[in-house]
Structure 1
Amino acid sequence: MKLTRSSPLSPTQTRSVTLVIPACNEEGNLERLFRFIEQTFDDLGYALPVLLIDDGSSDNSPQILARLSHQYSFLKVIRHPQRRGVTQVWKTALSHVTTDWILWGQADLESDPRTDIPLLLEACTPGVDAVAGWRQNRRDKKLFASSFANNACRFVFGSRIHDMNWIKIVRRDILTQLPIERITHRYLLAVLSGQGYRVTEVPTPWHTRFSGQSKFGFGRLFSSGRDFLLLLAWWYSSQSSPTYSTVRKNRKKVMSEI
């Protein structure tokens, strides 16, 4: 792992940001979602490239997305033939995105892009490496599992982030240096905090899903726990490695120079 010493300019300065949206069977949300995104760009005064990754949808999402990609010039769609999971969506995104920053969105409209995209961009000030959205007034069946994971990561990694697995904006160059398949999407921000990167958060309003069903279930709860154990094994082995020690020393030096 090699530390990137120089930070890119903030996304509000360069507009070098790609909005990445994972989607699986979200046919009832897509048209409304992109109306909201278009309104967001109108309010900002500029458009960002949007990469939607269809993770093996079996509903009418592919047909809807084909039409929307012609309607909105900022939209690019990549389709996984079969469902691969969110971590693989991250890997697909990293193989296609070239901007300095990745803004991770949601297709279910629990996050409203009209409020949340500007909030994340404004919070990403110079010197910040990542910003997490923090869901306010949240009421869903994933709350207990999320709270457990967030508290565990605060204990292990020293992370102060309240809501790791939600919308976020992250430096792309950092992501390309990390073993995403080992860290998984769930614990990305915790690892960045543990490595000394500057990760901050901004409160964002939570909304009930507009259409469709949540993909959360017992299987996902089990996989989250499994991924956390695998992450711990990687984390403690990397702490004792020369590479990890070099990264920590270099990062502290860079932070002292800011």
Structure 2
Amino acid sequence: MTDTFSCDVSIVIPIYNEEENLPDLVARVGEAMEPSGFSFELICVDDGSKDDSARVLRDLAARTDWLKPRYLMRNYGQTAALQAGFDGVQGRYTVTLDGDLQNDPLDIPALIRTLESRSDINMISGWRKERQDAAINRKIPSMIANRIIAKVTGVRLHDYGCALKAYRTELVRRIRLYGELHRFIPVLAFEAGAKIMEVPVRHHARTKGVSKYGIDRTFRVILDLLLMKFMLRYLHRPLHAFGGAGLWMGVPGLLICGYLSVLKLFGESIGGRPLLLLGIMLVLMGAQLIGLGLLGEILIRIYHEPEGRAQYRLRPPPED
């Protein structure tokens, strides 16, 4: 794809039930960006909000030329909403942040200037060094999760969950988001060859609306972390993962079956031995895993095809 840009900065914000925050959010983005000297656009993606967020966005866009809303047909989740925003960016740099005003838009120009001055950096990730959230259900679980993710993936960041991030748009166009991988964008960027920098950013307590996050997401993070580990190590060679496990099971199974076959040749009864069931089970499981590895090798060819199915559908702005 040829990179064509119509402005300096594209700001992407997923929106879900944030009607109370939207007027202040748009105003504060304007206050931060208009004096900065950067041309910009604000892409707010309404992720099937159940309140009046879509209508508020429509009304704000009618009198704000740099606000470009996108409206999803239903609630697809934050990952798909971010990808919908990424698909529409026209700036040389792309910035993401949450719509709850806990991230401060005033930090955006400084992030962009850092990217401009550091040609070796592809992505800057915010670090909520003085996070204004409850300790028990937000800060402590997040701190533990950040350390585990950094240890498992090798991408050393203090704060994976900070939505305020800045990218060179060519990097954004090299990665695709699906499922709930918005939490692991730094890992995906690292896998795409990006060099990542982390800087402290401001963080404010939520004053309007209700948080969409709960402690239950910790379990989903663990599952996604397993996926990230697999992607970093075995994405392009799945046969090494499944085939290796298959050999570890299949070879002992074959040895057990061979041993029992020798005993059978010498006239011993092996039909009632638990060892026979164990050998057969190991051989079958090993064969299945090797088959999965071969299937993965075929699927990875599809993964590298240039075309893919969209994770979302757009709808027109709401009508009165």
Task: Identify whether the pair has TM-score above 0.5, normalized to the shorter chain.
Answer: yes
Do structure 1's residue 185 and structure 2's residue 182 form an aligned pair?
yes
* Corresponding residue for residue 129 of structure 1: 122
Do structure 1's residue 157 and structure 2's residue 150 form an aligned pair?
no
Which amino acid counterpart does residue 170 of structure 1 have in structure 2? Answer: Y
Distance 1:211 1:85 in 2: 21
Tell me the TM-score normalised to structure 2 length: 0.66
Matching of residues 8-47 of structure 1 within 5 Å: 16-47=8-39
- Paired residues of 1:131 and 1:201 also in contact (CA < 8 A): yes
**146, 169, 172: which is aligned to 1:172?**
169
Q: Deviations over 1:188-242 (max 9, x none)?
A: 113433565210011111100120110011442222222112222222212647x
Distance 1:194 1:156 in 2: 14
Q: Point out which structure has higher relative CO (alpha carbons under 8 A, 6+ apart).
A: 1
Q: Post-superposition shift, 1:182?
A: 6.5
Q: Post-superposition shift, 1:17?
A: 2.0
Do structure 1's residue 199 and structure 2's residue 196 form an aligned pair?
yes
Consecutive unaligned residues in structure 2, runs of 5 or more = 239-299, 301-320
Q: Answer with 19-28 or 186-195: which moved more.
A: 186-195
Distance 1:224 1:118 in 2: 31
Which amino acid counterpart does residue 217 of structure 2 have in structure 1? Answer: R
Distance 2:222 2:99 in 1: 25
* Corresponding residue for residue 222 of structure 1: 219
* Corresponding residue for residue 59 of structure 1: 51
Larger radius of gyration: 2
Consecutive unaligned residues in structure 1, runs of 5 or more = 245-258
Distance 2:188 2:65 in 1: 35
Which amino acid counterpart does residue 36 of structure 2 have in structure 1? Answer: L
Distance 2:29 2:182 in 1: 23
* Corresponding residue for residue 81 of structure 2: 89
- Paired residues of 1:29 and 1:107 also in contact (CA < 8 A): yes
Q: Deviations over 1:144-190 (max 9, x none)?
A: 23222321222123222211232101223223333422681111113
- Paired residues of 1:157 and 1:194 also in contact (CA < 8 A): no
* Corresponding residue for residue 112 of structure 1: 104
Q: Deviations over 1:83-140 (max 9, x none)?
A: 11111112212322233321002210101212x1122112212221000111121132
Distance 1:138 1:237 in 2: 35
Distance 2:50 2:121 in 1: 39
Pick closer, same or farther for the CA change 1:216–1:182 going to 2, 3 Å.
closer
Q: Which runs of 4+ in 1 moved over 4 A?
A: none
Q: Post-superposition shift, 1:32?
A: 0.8
Q: What percentage of aligned pairs have identical amino acids? A: 28
Which amino acid counterpart does residue 31 of structure 1 have in structure 2? Answer: P
Tell me the TM-score normalised to structure 1 length: 0.80
**121, 124, 131: which is aligned to 1:138?**
131
